[in-house]
Amino acid sequence: MKARLIALLTAIAGMTVPVAAGVAQSEGWRPVRQYSEKTRSVVKDADTEVFAGKGAIVVKTSKPVGVEVYTILGQLVSRHKVAAGTSQLEMPSRGVYIVRVGRLTGKVAL
């Protein structure tokens, strides 16, 4: 158990993700007409669904909604309001991210 915890903390410490210091980022989100069939649903409700794709976070929504992406350490990576439809954010590195879409929150592993 202790060895697993040390390995996890070592892996987290080695993650490098560009983060804005308290400033909302809107770059990176782009509309997608069709996303890969290899994506898997992470969290969903009646209006919104979040997918984990190959190197990207995909949000499919029926109405405009605010999306926040954080590292597992709680650092803000992106905060943006996406339009209705399907949008994706290409992530700079593999890792585990926390995604908040409206009132939904889920963990996305890329």
Q: Which spans in 44-108 are helix H?
A: none
Please, what is the average pLDDT of the chain?
78
**Contact call for residues 66 and 102 (beta carbons, < 8 A):** yes
pLDDT for residue 13 is more than 60: no
- The 3-state DSSP class for residue 88 equals strand
Q: What are phi and psi of 44, to 5 degrees?
A: -155, 160
Cα separation, 10 vs 4, whole angstroms: 10
The residue-averaged pLDDT of 55-76 equals 93
Domains and CATH numbers, the chain: 2-109 (2.60.40.3080)
One-letter amino acid at 22 equals: G
> What pLDDT is recorded for position 92?
85
- Express each pLDDT in 18-60 by its tens digit: 333 333 334 677 777 665 556 677 888 989 999 998 889 999 9
pLDDT for residue 62 is more than 80: yes
Which pTM value belongs to this model?
0.68
Cα separation, 108 vs 38, whole angstroms: 14
> What pLDDT is recorded for position 73?
93
**Contact call for residues 64 and 55 (beta carbons, < 8 A):** no
> What pLDDT is recorded for position 7?
56
